[in-house]
Structure 1
Amino acid sequence: MNQKPYSLSQKRSVALGYKEGEQAPSVKAKGRGFTAEAIIERAREAEVPVQEDPALVEMLSQLDINEQIPEQLYEVVAEVFAFVYRMDREKSSRS
């Protein structure tokens, strides 16, 4: 079976954010293709850890900008935030 080579137009990304006092994290940016690449590049420039999870991106990309994540995704998104906090701690301990 032939696999299609990776296509930039197929790449998707979603940026999440959470502010104290909000009920749940929300979608802050999303895009595909060049926009997805720009979101990832900006995150890396800001030293924000990037986690790849195509299935989660597929679900999150259906939400609108500033829309809070649905309750069904709380657990999986909590794992993403735990990953980010862990990476921040590791970086801080090396400094």
Structure 2
Amino acid sequence: MLTPKAAALKYNSLNDNAPKVIASGKGDLALKIIEKAKAFDIPLFQNEILAEALTKQEIDTEIDPQLFKAVAEVFVWLMKAEESIELSSN
């Protein structure tokens, strides 16, 4: 069985040059991060390779430039998910 991994990202285009890892962990800590996201209705995106890379980042630091493309795809997915939620609630 694989060890759960999770990372939470934050990005403010006005203040940040790149997204920042604000929480990450493996095992029980990852499960708590996922539980907290669900409690706040934050959409979850699963990508084991990206999660592994993000859990190696220091907390409250910008992600490595090598991860920009993969993380940009996550943010595009998130925007589409939010649009879909907005459309279904109208």
The C-alpha deviation readout for 1:27-85, integer Å capped at 9, x for no partner, is: 01011111101101111111111011110111111111001011111111000011111
Distance in 1 separating the partners of 2:16 and 2:73: 18
How many residues align? The count is 88
Question: Are the equivalent residues in 1 in contact too, given 2:26–2:55 (CA < 8 A)?
Answer: no
Secondary structure in 2 matching 1:49 = coil
Aligned to 2:5: 12
Counterparts of 1:1-95 in structure 2, within 5 Å, are 6=1, 10-20=3-13, 21-95=15-89
TM-score by length of 2: 0.91
Identity of aligned residues (%): 32
Distance in 1 separating the partners of 2:69 and 2:81: 19
TM-score by length of 1: 0.87
Aligned AA (2:10): G
Specify every segment of 5 or more residues in structure 2 that has no aligned partner in the other structure, as ranges: none
Larger radius of gyration: 1
Question: Are the equivalent residues in 1 in contact too, given 2:8–2:33 (CA < 8 A)?
Answer: yes
Specify every segment of 5 or more residues in structure 1 that has no aligned partner in the other structure, as ranges: 1-5
Q: Pairwise CA RMSD of aligned residues?
A: 1.0
Distance in 2 separating the partners of 1:50 and 1:73: 18
Where has structure 1 moved over 2 Å in runs of 4 or more? none
Secondary structure in 1 matching 2:23 = strand
